[in-house]
Amino acid sequence: MTLTSRYSCAKRVVLIGSSGGGTATLGHNNVSEFVKLISDNLNRIGGGDDDDELVVTVNLDTVLFVSLDNGGGLDSVTGEEDATLLCIQDSGSKEVIFHNSLDQINNMMKKYDESVAIDIQEGKVHGLITVSCDPSTLSRTFQAAAKHNVPITGTGGTSLSMATSKFKLRLIGNAGGSVGTTPETKAISFASAFSEEWDLKYCPWEATTTKAANAPSWKSVLNSCLPGFWSIVLLKRIILTTPVGECIPEHERKALIFMIESYSLPILCAVIMATSRRKVESVQMSAVLAASACRKTILGGLISGWCVSILEVRLLYICILKWKLPATMTNLLRVFVGILTAVIMIPISPYLSQITEQYRHITLTYLWESTGSSSVVHGYIRLLASSFLGCLFCYGSKIGWYHSIFLPIILVEMEIGDASMLGALDFLTLVLVSAGICLGIILTGSTEERSLARRGIATNLLCGDFIEVCYPHMEQHYLVNISGYVASSVSVAVLTGGCRSSAYMPFPVAIWLANDQKQFLIASTIAFLIPFIATISNYYFFVRKRKTD
């Protein structure tokens, strides 16, 4: 058996740059994240198989990066603007941040310019990345790089062309302009250039695959869209029922409502889905384009966002690693992913919309309406079904069904910007039942119980949330537990067909949002009073009696 000795070799890369004229957008103003992204991609270069004698690693050894404190570009500056210099040396072991005027920062850069030039002359630097660098400020670095034939890649069309022409630099990869680029396209472009120059393996998709495998589930993505659904429902209601809507001409108001109903929530779902799998800003543009073909279907929005997140990263690697396109052109082509996805979704979206529309129709017809040829029989069936559903909500929320089952189907019902019938049920069976129990505890409980109950009832009635606060008391006291189910069953049974509302809102807003406000108020009173009376009765007939005995 022969043992092979393995040797390691480190390639050191220097990053010198600025926020430039057009690059202080799409994440470039977050210098730390930009530097980390470049470092991570450089670290993915090299390595070695088990049989290789030489293992090559690539490290970002030195960073000198200038940015304006207001996040702006450097095209029209006077030199008096506040600026920051990020200085990292020895592969991150030394990091210093300087704040001063731009002129003073540039003077400091000239001092570091000499230090980098010396490192190049001593053979300590194997590659140079420039991002919108001023050739006059970094003249010694560029002279040393040209003399020692150091490979250079970067972005910044004006600065690169001036430096290359003046110092005869050796550009590698697809170095080019910076307009429309993102930190991701730049980082991959830089790493690809060096991997090709040094004939080393570079597999950026391995990290992307790991991130995709750890992406949140579709239900989690949909649930995270709740604030958007909540906002759209309120906006639509305000436009339709308040003087605000009367300020808009009728034809424009109808067009606005049509756009809200048809596209706002599908686009929201597409963007959230895409960004949950791809943590880059550019994917949002493609997601919006893709979802523009998903009229009245949040399922279509979720699917289009998912497709965009997958196709966009594939095209990114093809453009940079295979076609060797500059970062600007790569980013422009990535938008075609949104167009392609939209074309695919155009024939599919109507069927997806019909699925959710049919779900809403079935829910309304068989659970809430009591019309038809056998109206009496149908009324009894509806009464039993809605009562059972009220109990099911009360029970399911205790065993973990709420976020996995109830909330997603509530959001599907809110697909076109309307409040939800199941949302009204949610408020009655969970929020108001909890509030009734909390008020009973405030009047009869111990000091510790009262403190928690006060917080609970305030959150219940003012925020429509924190329904779990009553569960310990329900589990301890049989009568209170039963009252929760009775209140859920009876309150839901008295709702009329088409009565919609929503949880996660203050109680007055939930009533205002309801289609049938009078009936919803009656149901709310029932849902609140039954557990309240049961909690009081439980204390006087059982708890206090046990204490007396």
- 10 Å CB burial of residue 97 (0-12, 13-18, 19+) is exposed
- pLDDT value for 24: 47
Residues across the chain: 549
Task: Say what the pLDDT of residue 451 is.
Answer: 92
Predicted pLDDT of residue 212 = 55
Six-digit token string for 81: 């603007």
Lookup: tokens for 199: 């004939």
Cα of first residue to Cα of last residue in the chain, in angstroms, is 84
Beta carbons of 281 and 310 less than 8 angstroms apart: no
DSSP run (H or E) holding 533: helix 517-538
* b/e code 119-136 from CB counts within 10 Å (16+ = b): bbeeeebbbbbbbbbbbe
Task: Report the pLDDT value the prediction gives residue 377, as an integer from 0 to 100.
Answer: 62
Q: What is the pLDDT of residue 2?
A: 43
What amino acid occupies position 45? I
Integer Cα distance of 193 and 160 in angstroms? 15
Which parts of the chain have pLDDT scores under 70? 1-8, 21-29, 47-54, 72, 176-180, 206-214, 366-378, 496-498, 547-549
Name all domains of the chain by residue range, CATH numbers in brackets: 7-203 (3.40.50), 211-355 (no CATH), 369-548 (no CATH)
**Whole-number pLDDT of residue 51:** 53
Rg (CA), the chain: 31
Contact between 141 and 116 (Cβ < 8 Å): yes
